[in-house]
Amino acid sequence: MPLATPETRYAKSGDVNIAYQVVGEGPFDLVYVPGWVSNVELFWEGPKAARFLERLTSFSRLILFDKRGTGMSDRVPNDRLPTLEQRMDDVRAVLDAVGSERAALLGHSEGGSMSMLFAATYPDRTAALVLVGVFAKRIRSDDYPWAPSPEERAASIEEVGREWVSEADLAHYAPSEDAAFRDHLQRFFRQSASPGAAQALLEMNSQIDTRSILPTIRVPTAVIHRTDDRDVTVEEGRWIAEQIPTARFVELPGEDHVLWAGDQDALLDEIEQFLTGVRRAPGHDRVLSTVLFTDIVGSTERAQALGDRRWHDLIDAHHDRIRRELARFRGQEVDTAGDGFFASFDGPARGVRAACAIRDGVRELGIDIRAGLHTGECELMQGKIGGVAVHTGARVASAAGSGEVLVSQTVKDLVAGSGIEFADRGSHELKGVPGEWRLYAVVDA
């Protein structure tokens, strides 16, 4: 389940404040050097991003930071952008601030350039280097034919200034992901940099050329690349690995460029095995989970009364409230469909309390919801859960009245002693679920 947002601290790199976080107590330090833009606090608001970071903390002490000019770090004038060397120094400043003498580096996309330069410059402080979706230069040349042409690069930079961030950008960076993921990614980008700053950073990236330093990297290195990455071609990753004497190349299926998009488990397995020497055992395909379903009462009539624009604004506010409560109670967003939400919890009491907090929170928006919970064995399917227990939870929710949080007998029995009070709502037949089910309404959570 996602961790609580760690405390953001600041390290001085010259006269610039660099925001960083430290989380986990693993046996070695791992610095995540992000791509183009980042925001250390918004990372934790996206369920898949938080899950990705949490997995890294399971085998390392994870160090996160925002490069100067992005996220929570100091802004820099767009006409005086830092050099790659200055940005590499930000890594050193953060390591010094957290008392890390030696760390592994995980560099993604543009962050790979900083990581490569750091590893070549400070091999004594670099335990290992992992590069994912990286490039050596960003403008095409005869001896580097995979990068965009100058005209293509200029057009991309102009588009960022015109529309930051467009649906086309989101589809480009995370084509396999759903609307909820892209909503978070859009907020992540926008709160990581302004349009002008994003353009300026792209201009700076266009000047990067790390080809000459690749043969000087002597630390253990893994270059990992998704076959159909839409932003950086797999040929670039393969060529970079060939230039680094110590590197091994790993190619994974997928077309997403965002690190935590798509099949993150395959990527994390490779990272963990390279850094620890141990590949995690395959996860179980079934797990006990508490599922929560909610939907808005009278949504059709409300949508017709408000009109499309106001209705969409209300739905956005509704989703935001629910996601805040899921984060608070360690819930995992599984799916959304229209005005409905499907989430899971590793404890039934947390699920019940989250449901009540969600009901009360959206009521402040003038919305009434119905909610239902059930605990049972769920099937794990490509990062999501399914099975009879999920179907049962959905049917419990459909039996709830306006403003009611309804639970199955199983949930009631499991939270005995928690102080949660229920009212018996009698036996019900749940469509598509065999037998009769005793249901209970939450009176006081």
Residues 45-66 pLDDT 10s: 888 898 899 899 989 999 999 9
What is the rounded average pLDDT for all residues in the chain?
91
Interacting residues of 56 by C-beta distance below 8 A, sequence separation 6+: 24, 30, 32, 62, 106, 268, 271
pLDDT of 2: 41
250 and 358 both lie in a single domain: no
Q: Which residue, 223, 246, 276, sits at the end of a domain?
A: 276
* Sheet of 103-108, strands arranged across: 9-13, 16-23, 61-65, 29-33, 103-108, 126-132, 221-226, 247-252
134 and 52 both lie in a single domain: yes
Helix 264-276 vs helix 47-57: crossing angle, to nearest 10: 20
In a domain, 2, yes or no: no
At 192-201, the pLDDT tens digits run: 999 998 998 8
Find the mean pLDDT for residues 14-38: 94
Peptide bond preceding 165 in cis form (omega within 30 of 0): yes
193 and 81 both lie in a single domain: yes
- Would you state the structure tokens that stand for residue 251, as one six-digit string? 């190619």
Domain CATH code at residue 382 = 3.30.70.1230
- Virtual CA dihedral for 20, 199, 106, 208, nearest 10 degrees? -120
3-state secondary structure of 133: coil
In a domain, 253, yes or no: yes
246 and 292 both lie in a single domain: no
Domain tally, the chain? 2
304 and 251 both lie in a single domain: no
Among 74-78, 161-165, 166-170, 232-236, where is mean pLDDT lowest? 74-78
Find the mean pLDDT for residues 225-245: 97
247 and 396 both lie in a single domain: no
228: left (phi over 0), alpha (psi -120 to 50) or beta: alpha
The one-letter code for the residue type at 256 is D
Cα 125 from chain centroid (whole Å): 28
